[in-house]
Amino acid sequence: MKHYLLFLLSILLFSCDEKKSETAKSIQSPQYITVLGTAQDGGYPHIGCQRECCTNFYEGRSQKQKVVSLGLIDKEDQKKFIFEATPDISTQLDDLERNHLQKETIIDGVFLTHAHIGHYAGLMYFGREALGKKDIPVYAMPKMIEFLTNNGPWSQLIDLQNIVFNDLKKDSTIQVSASLKVTPFLVPHRDEFSETVGYKIEGKNKTALFIPDINKWNLWKKDIVAEVKKVDYAFLDATFLKDGEINRPMSEVPHPFIEETVTLFQNEPTEIKNKVIFIHFNHTNPALQPNSKERKALEKSGFKVASEGDLYAL
């Protein structure tokens, strides 16, 4: 009986590995996006959380979710980029190396959106205490560069040349490989230390938006529905499902509720809703949980929910 159970376990493990391998190989385009993380800055499980959402992790019912990040790969040009330097950057870079593109250079560029901890704190692992490599390219806006330059410990990364900046300008497109272009654009957010940007990512055939953090949609000068219609994929801020989700005034951390975003798209056809990929979930958001009724309802309505390992051809 014992040998039979071990045999069954080996089959299951092999099947899981094979499925993961098939998923990685299923992408036909040499240029693509991969989802490296889906959680809000504090990650999942969340510090200090004793609620059911985090108990699900500690009691083995849910898996850890890394902080929001995208990988951008061009296998023709042998280049790879990461969007956001999260506290989970060590395993996210390893994911890119093991499952997508192996090369001597750990990363060809890091794109930052803003100075909130989940989006830049991972830079610390490039420094003397950890990786200690030189000249890792970091793409950032002017205020973000000023903040990192004038504040420790980030300034030491610059002094020791662990990172080098590539200056970004709003609405100015840069060519990061022969087939890939990236354009930053300003979005309204809590800009205590830097401006906040989203990104437009363009490949040979398809285009994506990445807006992990923004205040309410009506505070942006652009119409999010119109912007989604222009692209093939739109990774959008899904921090909270609805009002009252956390035990403090939600005006302190303003984000568009998923319910609000769904309402904006409610009269759009399914092919437009399919472009919306919700990402950047707070630990309290039930849509973060893979088998929740809220997540299933979103998907049934035509929207998508980002999961680690998802691939999107460009």
> What single string gives the DSSP state of each residue in the chain?
-HHHHHHHHHHHHHHHHHHHHHHHH---SSEEEEEEE-B-TT-BS-TT--SHHHHHHHTTSS--BPBSEEEEEETTTTEEEEE---TTHHHHHHHHHHHT---SSS-S-EE---SSHHHHGGGGGGSTTTT--S-EEEEE-HHHHHHHHHSTTHHHHHHTTSEEEEE--TT--EE-SSS-EEEEEE-----SSS--EEEEEE-SS-EEEEE---S-GGGSSS-HHHHHHTSSEEEEE-S-SSTT-SSS-GGGS----HHHHHHHTTTS-HHHHTTEEEE-B-TT-GGGSTT-HHHHHHHHTT-EE--TT-EEE-
Average pLDDT on 99-122 reads 95
- pLDDT tier for residue 25 given thresholds of 50, 70 and 90: low
Task: Report, as an integer, the average pLDDT of 90-115.
Answer: 96
CATH of 28-307, one of 3.40.190.10, 3.60.15.10, 3.90.180.10, 3.90.1330.10: 3.60.15.10
- pLDDT averaged over the chain? 89
Q: Give residue-wise pLDDT tens across range 209-247.
A: 999 999 999 999 999 999 999 999 999 999 988 876 767
- The pLDDT of residue 160: 96
Give the mean pLDDT of 175-186: 98
51 or 211, higher pLDDT: 211
What is the rounded average pLDDT of the residues 8-27?
44
Q: Please check the confidence at residue 59 and state whether its pLDDT lies above 60.
A: yes
pLDDT of 202 strictly over 60: yes
Percentage of the residues of the chain whose pLDDT score is greater than 90: 72
Question: Of 39-43, 90-94, 134-138, which gets the smallest average pLDDT?
Answer: 39-43
Show me where the domains of the chain are located.
Answer: 28-307
pLDDT of res. 8: 40
Residue 12: pLDDT band with limits 50, 70, 90: very low
